[in-house]
């Protein structure tokens, strides 16, 4: 099946883009010594989520699209782990963490839903 999706119309792409913006805003207050550490890692992981979704829409098969979605899902778990560590070491407080974690969980749920939809060819 030829994939013919406009990624800009996918709610999961929009939500994950919003998450990336939130990560940039959150990490802006991180200490400068973290610039090449967790700040960079969290930003790269967050940007990879919508980027891989967008890339997947250009793939020629459903299997390839699902593979890109799987990569996005993996990056979301990477970001979740980094957020947990940032919270544990005091870079983000518990309230900031809870908000970020809820958004990450929502994106993960949405990616899983899209994977299921594509795999069942009902999308």
CATH fold for domain 7-119: de novo design (two linked rop proteins) (1.20.1440)
Q: pLDDT tens across 56-66, in order?
A: 998 888 899 99
Q: pLDDT tens across 72-122, in order?
A: 999 999 999 999 999 999 999 999 999 999 999 999 999 999 999 999 874
Q: pLDDT tens across 17-33, in order?
A: 999 999 999 999 999 99
Cα 37 to Cα 23: distance, rounded to the nearest angstrom: 14
């Amino acid at each position: 099946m030829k994939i013919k999706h406009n990624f800009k119309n996918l709610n999961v792409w929009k939500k994950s883009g919003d998450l990336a913006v939130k990560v940039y805003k959150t990490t802006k207050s991180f200490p400068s010594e973290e610039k090449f550490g967790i700040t960079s890692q969290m930003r790269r992981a967050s940007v990879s989520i919508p980027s891989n979704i967008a890339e997947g829409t250009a793939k020629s098969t459903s299997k390839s699209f699902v593979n890109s979605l799987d990569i996005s899902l993996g990056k979301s778990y990477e970001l979740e782990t980094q957020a947990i560590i940032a919270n544990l070491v005091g870079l983000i407080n518990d309230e900031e963490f809870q908000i970020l974690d809820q958004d990450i969980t929502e994106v993960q749920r949405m990616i899983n839903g899209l994977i299921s939809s594509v795999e069942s060819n009902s999308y």
